[in-house]
Structure 1
Amino acid sequence: MIFNDQMIDDIALGATVLGTGGGGDPYSGALMAKVAIANAEQPVELISLDEVKDDWMTVPSSMIGAPTVAIEKLNSQDQMLVAFEAMEQAVGERIEATFPIEVGGFNSLIPILVAAQKGIPVIDCDAMGRAFPESQMVTFYLDGLPSAPNTLADEKGNVVTLHPIDGVWSERFARPITEQMGGSAAMCDYPMYGKELKRSALGATLTKAMQIGKAIREANARGDSAVEAVLEIVDGHRIISGKIVDIDRNTGGGFVTGGVVIEPLKTSESNAEPVYVHFQNELLLAHKGTKASDMSQESLLACTPDLISILDHETGQPITTEQLRYGQRIELIAYPCDPKWRTAKGIEVAGPDYFGYGVEYVAIENLSKRVNTEAGL
């Protein structure tokens, strides 16, 4: 499948839904990807995991840092290529294909930029099936694959090569380096051969993003509910139709963190309660109440590693954490993560306890049943 402008727009839109509020600004990413394929010497191809040869060296291309930084410091196409070529030097061989480390906004499109410049394909896969805030929160880490070497590059030309012992140490080293690089940096990690990639990556995730983006676009063109179209594709649950009445957002330590309060719309059920949503780059946990301290096992509505997304009430357009504003009319939805994240190790690595929330993970379908039972539905 050859990338074109419509594919890029659909992937950007759908990946921003799957990005659960993180992954970076999809608009600038789509513009850069379109320019990249227009200037490429040959068409840029999207290939399936099955088409990857076992002896190919493959490497993901991504950005690391707080998404809010990109509002004032635009990402550079050149720095992504610098990080990628630094990785080729580090592994001592040609990289045959690239792919996104996560399906989320801008980060889903970076491999297209690199592939266009290097004349290589993009693989239809990622290592999260969504976006997560930290480097070790990938299926490769769950499967015990090495993270090293890592390469990071900024827009000034600085390059750092790391050899961490695992993904946790990669995060510990890369995050402060990213801070010194201005809060965001291009990053390549987890180099591996095709045989390992096919065993550990989550396949067809870019195709899924494209399907979601296309569904939103076509629903709006027909005058149908784009939110309902998304819910059907992702097997999702609507938590609340509401309005944002308060937001607390801070950028520091390489993350954007905070919370948002959503009050039910007047058209909602009369017994609906306000909802508080916590985020660290991505939306991670939702519970009943208006304060972070209202969180409890009983008030829990959805939590990581399941996906939580905020969509525009009218258009179904996904809203990233840096775009959240007072007064927005939104739909808060949640839907199941890949089964790999529901294993004991997956929950240990990316569950609510890891982020210090003090509640146990409960699958969204079970939480939804409980809420419906309590409401007498």
Structure 2
Amino acid sequence: MDDVKAAVKGGSVFASGGGGWVDHGLEIGSAAITIGKPKLATVDEIPDDAIIVTATAIGAPAGTTDWQMLGKDYIKAVQLLQETLGKKVYGLMTPQNGMSSTINGWLPAAALDMVVVDATGDIRAHPTGKMGSLGLASSLDYETIQVVVGGKPETGSYIELVVKGTPAKTSNILRTASDMSGGFIACARHPLPAKYIKENAAIGGISKALQLGYAIMEAEPNGPAAVIDTICKTTNGTILGTGRVLKKSVTYSGAFDIGTITVETEEHGELILHVMNEYMAVDTKAGQRLTTFPDVITTISVETGAPVSVGHIVEGMEIAVFSINKKYLPLSASVKDPTVYPEVEKALGINLIDYAFDKVK
């Protein structure tokens, strides 16, 4: 259970304002260790030809919609993918860390006798499936299988869907299915040989979240300031500014939460945090860019020292805006793929790609 708590606490920092919910992470993690014994495996322990599948959830994590996703939905999604593939799946990985997404694969892995792979499609949480698709977003040669399961049967929104095709087209279909099911849905996708994972994933993504989570747990008795200091020291992260939330302007659209959060800080005056499910960039009021995806960008409560998701941000709250520069993070092929950026840039109306690829200083 300590591993579950550490994964949720560390994952909450890498969640970057999204990545699910703490309660959901603790619930799914508890179910995983109750139903079996999840086994975390390094990529070196896994044969090159073993099949690895990404287990995740798709939707808008701000909690503004009437969604339902149960533990059995995660399991059913993996089962349907394995049946469609016609081969035994060896292990499960998550496309990202997060408040609950660090634990995405633990329950189906424990239930179906698979390993949890210590690798992530992206070390931090991100809005689109393409950003966690291990560099396959624009591939026309790879036919993927993607499965979603979830929704409320009593309202008629429960969906089971299996699709085959290119990652780009099938990802868009899954986003629509998530919206139709209530805004958040369990998913299994992208069966790939372990050799590909070893070459394209953010290696060690789960153990990094666990390490950070244990450091946070050790610091918690010393108060919120000690926790924030520990987060910074453990990750090589920095506090960009501390202050009061002036305005939250975030709306739900097509299974995304999109908008901005404005924070009045002592260090930089007003900071504008750009949100598409997660924090994607931070600008000063004058237009200076301070941090951009794939940097980790997180809001932390000054009162508790705990990360605060976009959904729980309220005007008047005192927060610290925290960032980890991408040079301190293991980066996957996903975030190095220029084709995953235009969709998010269009939704937010800002430039990401030039900053992400260091074309702007």
TM-score (norm. length: structure 2): 0.88
Paired position in structure 1 for 2:233 = 232
How far the C-alpha of 1:65 sits from its partner, in A, is 0.7
> Is the alpha carbon distance of 1:363 and 1:59 closer, same or farther for their aligned partners in structure 2, counting shifts above 3 Å?
closer
Superimposed CA distance per residue, residues 316-357 of structure 1 (whole angstroms, 9 cap, x where no aligned partner): 211111111122111101112346469995355238746530
Does the CA-based 8 Å contact 1:147-1:189 persist in structure 2?
no
Does the CA-based 8 Å contact 2:122-2:334 persist in structure 1?
no
CA distance in 2, matches of 1:350, 1:340: 15
> Is the alpha carbon distance of 1:198 and 1:358 closer, same or farther for their aligned partners in structure 2, counting shifts above 3 Å?
closer
CA distance in 2, matches of 1:55, 1:365: 35
How far the C-alpha of 1:279 sits from its partner, in A, is 0.3
How far the C-alpha of 1:84 sits from its partner, in A, is 0.7
How far the C-alpha of 1:124 sits from its partner, in A, is 1.0
Paired position in structure 2 for 1:349 = 340
Paired position in structure 2 for 1:32 = 28
1:121 pairs, out of 115, 118, 123, with 115
How far the C-alpha of 1:256 sits from its partner, in A, is 1.1
Superimposed CA distance per residue, residues 174-228 of structure 1 (whole angstroms, 9 cap, x where no aligned partner): 1112211221211111111122221211111111111111222212223462112
1:278 pairs, out of 265, 274, 279, with 274
CA distance in 1, matches of 2:50, 2:70: 27
2:256 is the counterpart of 1:263: no
How far the C-alpha of 1:358 sits from its partner, in A, is 3.6
1:8 pairs, out of 4, 9, 27, with 4
How far the C-alpha of 1:26 sits from its partner, in A, is 2.0
CA distance in 2, matches of 1:14, 1:48: 18
Paired position in structure 2 for 1:374 = none
Does the CA-based 8 Å contact 1:220-1:315 persist in structure 2?
no
CA distance in 1, matches of 2:296, 2:340: 15
How far the C-alpha of 1:274 sits from its partner, in A, is 1.1
SS at match of 2:190: coil
CA distance in 1, matches of 2:175, 2:124: 20
How far the C-alpha of 1:75 sits from its partner, in A, is 2.0
CA distance in 2, matches of 1:232, 1:364: 25
Does the CA-based 8 Å contact 1:12-1:27 persist in structure 2?
no
Paired position in structure 1 for 2:304 = 315
Paired position in structure 1 for 2:209 = 209
1:102 pairs, out of 65, 86, 96, with 96
Superimposed CA distance per residue, residues 54-98 of structure 1 (whole angstroms, 9 cap, x where no aligned partner): 221111111101113487534211111111111001110111111
CA distance in 2, matches of 1:364, 1:140: 17
Please report the RMSD computed on the Cα atoms of aligned residues, expressed in angstroms: 2.7
Identical pairs, percent: 21
How far the C-alpha of 1:359 sits from its partner, in A, is 6.1
Superimposed CA distance per residue, residues 96-131 of structure 1 (whole angstroms, 9 cap, x where no aligned partner): 111212111212112111112112221111111111
2:144 pairs, out of 129, 138, 148, with 148
The residue identity in structure 1 corresponding to 2:192 is M
Equivalent residue runs for 1:58-207 within 5 Å? 58-69=52-63, 72-138=66-132, 140-141=134-135, 144=139, 146=142, 148-155=144-151, 156=153, 158-165=159-166, 167-207=167-207
Between stretches 8-17 and 178-187, larger displacement belongs to 178-187
2:239 is the counterpart of 1:245: no
SS at match of 1:163: strand
Does the CA-based 8 Å contact 1:142-1:345 persist in structure 2?
no
1:22 pairs, out of 8, 18, 25, with 18
Superimposed CA distance per residue, residues 277-322 of structure 1 (whole angstroms, 9 cap, x where no aligned partner): 1101000111112xxxx6x3xx212112222111111432111111
The residue identity in structure 2 corresponding to 1:288 is T
Paired position in structure 2 for 1:373 = none
**Number of residue-to-residue matches in the alignment:** 349
List alignment gaps of at least 5 residues for structure 1.
371-377
SS at match of 2:355: coil
Does the CA-based 8 Å contact 1:135-1:170 persist in structure 2?
no
> Is the alpha carbon distance of 1:71 and 1:366 closer, same or farther for their aligned partners in structure 2, counting shifts above 3 Å?
same
SS at match of 1:186: strand
Paired position in structure 2 for 1:375 = none
Which structure has the bigger radius of gyration? 1
CA distance in 1, matches of 2:334, 2:74: 33
Does the CA-based 8 Å contact 1:24-1:67 persist in structure 2?
yes
